[in-house]
């Protein structure tokens, strides 16, 4: 059982105390209409409503030699606060999430601002399967065969202006389908950001699927980012807006707790979270912990941070 495997991590240990106390009111505050008619998804379910098979090519950027985390673990143990603050809740509460039609607006400091449908985005480049390690700030990790292409492909399409230095991302927020900010315990819509050079790195994946299929709702359907050298909350889900800017954009968890969640949030075992160590992690589906690797084991990104103090710039 996943809960037993993570028994040494209490919810109050991995969440800011003020938010943790508010979330205890979560079930009492959820609208009855939101919960009406829901069915508990079986952990043995292989696919979710709306997922379809994808044609992919293998990528040389894949992590090699590591066991892939079981699909059921990755799709039933999620952080997606718009659909619940417990790890098992998003798979259940997002099952009727409408992801079609869907558009992504790319705007700001670009020569060719445009709104793309997901179908248009998926045709910009061949879809690659990339097996990446993924490390959560709460000290658990996964290995997933994601599907997408380098985000730099989209950036080339819109042509960033010379003054563009950062990329801001925004998740859909639909109060008819999602929890309120009070119930979620964080400001909504969820926002994230990267430096432009980070977004242009080949490992930065614009992601449409996993395990050979389109993304299920709880894992970020229909399109998300996957940034394997950063802690998981940086890999924003269900994107509706991308904006290039000259100034650093706000990021949800950095705004909520700047002393705990930095703008960069690179995986760094030498920079402890204020309330727990980041030196080890537990892979979902495994019992024993393993050492956490610098940049999550992706040294090819180190040049992005040359000369920076990675304890101060966490």
Q: What is the mean pLDDT of residues 178-193?
A: 98
Indicate if the pLDDT at residue 25 is higher than 60.
no
CA angle (52 as vertex; 50, 57 as ends), nearest 5:
150
pLDDT range class, residue 148, cuts 50, 70, 90: very high
Rounded-to-integer distance, Cα 43 and Cα 5, Å: 16
Q: Phi and psi of 254, rounded to 5°? A: -65, -35
Any domain includes 106: yes
Any domain includes 239: yes
Rounded-to-integer distance, Cα 308 and Cα 314, Å: 10
Number of structural domains the chain divides into: 1
CA angle (4 as vertex; 234, 260 as ends), nearest 5:
30
Any domain includes 313: no
pLDDT for the residue numbered 49: 57
Q: How far is CA 85 from the centre of its chain?
A: 15
Indicate if the pLDDT at residue 18 is higher than 70.
no
CATH number assigned to the domain comprising residue 9: 3.90.420.10
Q: How, if at all, do strands 191-195 and 166-171 pair?
A: antiparallel
Give residue-wise pLDDT tens across range 45-91: 445 656 899 999 989 999 988 999 999 999 999 999 999 999 999 99
Range of the domain at 72: 2-305
Any domain includes 236: yes
Any domain includes 137: yes
Give residue-wise pLDDT tens across range 209-235: 999 999 999 999 999 999 999 999 999
Any domain includes 310: no
pLDDT for the residue numbered 298: 98
pLDDT for the residue numbered 210: 98
Indicate if the pLDDT at residue 23 is higher than 90.
no
Give residue-wise pLDDT tens across range 244-292: 999 999 999 999 999 999 999 999 999 999 999 999 999 999 999 999 9
> Could you give the C-alpha distances from 225 to 204, 273, 290, in angstroms and in order?
7, 23, 25
């Amino acid at each position: 059982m996943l809960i037993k495997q993570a028994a040494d991590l209490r919810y109050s240990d991995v969440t800011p105390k003020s938010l943790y106390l508010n979330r205890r009111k979560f079930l009492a505050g959820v609208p009855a209409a939101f919960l009406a008619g829901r069915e508990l998804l079986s952990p043995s379910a292989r696919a979710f409503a709306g997922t379809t098979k994808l044609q992919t090519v293998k990528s040389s950027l894949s992590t090699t030699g590591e066991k892939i985390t079981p699909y059921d673990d990755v799709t039933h143990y999620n952080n997606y606060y718009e659909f619940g603050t417990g790890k098992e809740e998003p798979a259940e509460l997002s099952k009727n999430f409408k992801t079609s039609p869907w558009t992504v607006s790319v705007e700001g400091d670009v020569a060719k601002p445009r709104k793309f449908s997901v179908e248009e985005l998926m045709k910009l480049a061949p879809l690659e399967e990339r097996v990446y390690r993924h490390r959560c700030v709460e000290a658990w990790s996964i290995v997933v065969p994601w599907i997408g292409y380098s985000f730099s492909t989209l950036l080339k399409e819109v042509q960033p202006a010379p003054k563009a230095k950062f990329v801001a991302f925004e998740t859909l927020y639909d109060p008819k389908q999602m929890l309120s900010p009070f119930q979620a315990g964080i400001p909504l819509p969820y926002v994230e950001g990267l430096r432009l050079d980070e977004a242009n790195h080949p490992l930065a994946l614009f992601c449409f699927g996993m395990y050979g299929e389109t993304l299920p709702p709880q894992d970020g359907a229909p399109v998300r980012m996957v940034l394997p050298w950063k802690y998981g909350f940086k890999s924003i889900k269900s994107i509706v807006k991308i904006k290039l800017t000259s100034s650093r954009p706000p990021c949800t968890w950095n705004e909520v707790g700047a002393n705990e969640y930095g703008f960069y949030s690179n995986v760094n075992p030498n920079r402890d979270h204020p309330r727990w160590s980041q030196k080890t992690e537990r892979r979902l589906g495994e019992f024993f912990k393993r050492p956490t690797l610098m940049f999550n084991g992706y040294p090819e990104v180190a040049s992005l941070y040359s000369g920076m103090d990675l304890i101060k710039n966490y």
